[in-house]
Amino acid sequence: MRALISVWDKTGVVDFATRLSGLGWEIVSSGGTAAALADAGVPVLAVEDVTGSPEMLDGRVKTLHPRIHGGILADRSKPAHLASLDEHGIAAIDLVVCNLYPFRSDPGPELIDIGGPAMVRAAAKNHGDESGGVGVVVDPADYEAVLEELTASGGAAAGGLSAATRRRLARAAFAHTAAYDAAIVSWLDEPAAGDAAGVAEADEPSEPAPLPPTVHLALERVDECRYGENPHHLGARYRPVGESTWWDHAYQHSGLALSYLNFFDADAAWRIVHDLGDAEGSSAVVIVKHANPCGTAAGDVLADVYQRAYDCDARSAFGGIVAFNQIVDLDTVERIEAAAQADLIIAPGYEDGVVERLEAKRRNTRVLEAPRPDEAGLSLRQINGGWLVQSPHTFASAPGDWQVVTERRPTEGEMADARFAWRVCGHVMSNAIVLARDRTAWGIGAGQQNRVESGQLAAAKADGRAAGGACASDAFYPFGDGIEAAAAAGVAVVVQPGGALRDDDVIARANELGLAMLFTGERQFRH
């Protein structure tokens, strides 16, 4: 039995080859792998001795040869294939152990592997059936299981791996090459260095890059959820193969295992709290329930910020996700202990003693510590039979570019309230209305089928606490009744995209009511 071993990641390969050789297998290898095995005293036959051809083109051509691929691809169940091997003096290869150049570490043409994927795919194609076939190993984590099975079967004299094992390994091999190709396609979709420089030098903001003609997802399962969206569903977290996300560096101090909705809502809260904190240049707290913020606040003292965020909607905060953009201190944990229990708390860190107090008073609350969220990529959403893809959620307009459309201009304080309300509104599911004052979202109306009812819901939750503050609407007001609802809630300024057919009527009604109104020129629908 002959094995061809050619790996970039040499983790465990010397021990694997040593034990394989001890089972009676002949080892064929190339390049750095052959040198590593020979240095360790493993009997090894160089690829060039098999092919009769030296490595060429700085190693670009090593294994691309009929004496290699013929040995891998010959179907042992076909006498004609075996006769062809005999005719050309080619020995069959029964096991291919290969992993590919680490393209993601330094993307570029020299790390686009050719011979490796060709061998891996050839071996996986020929994994065969019960009559025999080729085994292929692309992950060092499989070395031990392969050795155990070969040992149990009696080594090289008795044969190779079982059909079930070869099939499992073939699947892993095709997943490996698929992920590798997906990484290369993603790299080719990125702007070239010259294009990026041109964008950086431009005076005007650049338009979003065109969406790619194809999207290639290669994902690996990394976390099992406690359950899916409901307890009778299965759920898991996947990530792009070979990549690390902020979730991979999050640490759970205590609490129950995370469910599907814990991941979903915590991800939303974590993105919102950092966006809000960055925009305000201060501490921020966001409480999320079912992907919507039900409480948001920003300010200088974290304990006070948390209290205001919680007081926005204390009823909805029960069982919610609480996100902090600053380290949670002892003063803040006292406020948390006095509030309704949260399902999950996430922060960049905790002062000494905070986690222990949360464990004692909130035993089931999941307490997570995490780095900043990753930069958003393409947004994908599954529909029946396909996917919808769009560029990531952003705020396209700057407050300095907003247009004052009413006779009364907002004061400096009202403008600050409008900026805060608009930022929060951009993260609320449509139709969205946010009433805010003093960097606190006192009323949030979300997900209603019409804007007036979202406004009524926001006003009921605010209960007068946003008086003198701002009302933000994620899309234009088509009629004056929405402005009337904002005025009834006591706000002084309305911020909205503008662009309705009846904008003039809406502006006139705002003037009659003594409101200041700002047009952002951008819509912030979220569904």
Q: Rounded CA gap, 142 and 157, in Å?
A: 22
Q: Which helix (H) or strand (E) holds 199?
A: helix 193-201
Do 152 and 40 sit in the same domain of this protein? yes
Could you give the C-alpha distances from 250 to 247, 259, 263, 302, in angstroms and in order? Answer: 5, 15, 11, 21
Catalytic residue, chosen from 10, 81, 274, 290, is 290
**What integer pLDDT is reported at residue 146 of this predicted model?**
92
Do 137 and 57 sit in the same domain of this protein? yes
* CATH number of the domain to which 119 belongs: 3.40.50.1380
Do 365 and 403 sit in the same domain of this protein? no
Instruction: Specify if 286 maps to a domain.
Output: yes
Instruction: Specify if 244 maps to a domain.
Output: no
Other C-beta atoms closer than 10 Å to the C-beta of 144 total: 13
Q: Contacts by 217-222 with C-beta closer than 8 Å and gap 24+?
A: 217/182, 217/380, 218/175, 218/178, 218/179, 218/182, 218/183, 220/179, 222/248
Other C-beta atoms closer than 10 Å to the C-beta of 147 total: 16
Instruction: Specify if 388 maps to a domain.
Output: no
Instruction: Give residues with Cβ within 8 angstroms of 338, minimum separation 6.
Output: none
Q: Rounded CA gap, 297 and 326, in Å?
A: 13
**28 forms bridges with which residues in the sheet?**
4, 45
Could you give the C-alpha distances from 426 to 343, 396, 422, in angstroms and in order? Answer: 24, 11, 6
Do 71 and 9 sit in the same domain of this protein? yes
Domain endpoint, select from 187, 210, 233 = 187
Could you give the C-alpha distances from 290 to 261, 263, 429, 430, 460, in angstroms and in order? Answer: 8, 11, 10, 13, 20
Other C-beta atoms closer than 10 Å to the C-beta of 242 total: 16
Do 365 and 422 sit in the same domain of this protein? no
- To the query of whether residue 290 is one of the catalytic residues in this protein, the response is yes
Instruction: Specify if 132 maps to a domain.
Output: yes
Instruction: Specify if 57 maps to a domain.
Output: yes
pTM of the model as a whole = 0.84
Instruction: Specify if 438 maps to a domain.
Output: yes
Do 277 and 426 sit in the same domain of this protein? no
Domain endpoint, select from 187, 209, 231 = 187
DSSP structure string for 97-161 = EEE---GGGS-SGGG--SHHHHHHHHHHHT--BTTB--EEE--GGGHHHHHHHHHHTTSTTT---
* CATH number of the domain to which 430 belongs: 3.40.140.20
Q: Which helix (H) or strand (E) holds 187?
A: helix 163-189
Instruction: Specify if 108 maps to a domain.
Output: yes
Do 142 and 282 sit in the same domain of this protein? no
- To the query of whether residue 88 is one of the catalytic residues in this protein, the response is no
Q: Rounded CA gap, 66 and 28, in Å?
A: 15
Instruction: Specify if 489 maps to a domain.
Output: yes
Do 25 and 110 sit in the same domain of this protein? yes
Here the tokens at position 137 are 């190993």
Domain count, the chain: 3
Report the b/e string of 354-384 with b at 16+ CB within 10 A. bbeebeeebeebbbbbbeebeeeeeeeeeee
Nearest to 10 by CA among 34, 28, 46: 34
Cβ(168)–Cβ(145) below 8 Å:
no
Tens-of-pLDDT digits for all 527 residues of the chain? 889 999 988 999 999 999 988 888 999 988 888 889 899 988 988 888 887 777 778 777 777 788 888 889 888 888 888 888 888 888 888 999 998 878 887 778 888 888 888 889 999 999 986 667 899 999 999 999 999 888 888 765 556 788 889 999 999 999 999 988 898 888 888 876 445 444 444 445 456 678 888 888 888 899 999 988 889 999 999 998 888 899 999 999 999 999 999 999 999 999 999 999 999 999 999 999 988 999 999 999 999 999 999 999 999 999 999 999 999 999 999 999 999 989 999 999 999 999 999 988 878 899 999 999 998 888 888 888 888 888 888 888 888 899 999 999 999 999 999 999 999 999 998 889 999 999 999 999 988 888 888 888 999 999 999 999 999 998 898 888 888 989 999 999 999 999 999 999 999 999 999 999 999 999 888 88
Domain endpoint, select from 369, 389, 411 = 369
User: Domain range spanning residue 259?
Assistant: 253-369
Helix (H, G, I), strand (E, B) or coil at 508: helix
Catalytic residue, chosen from 81, 125, 216, 253, is 125
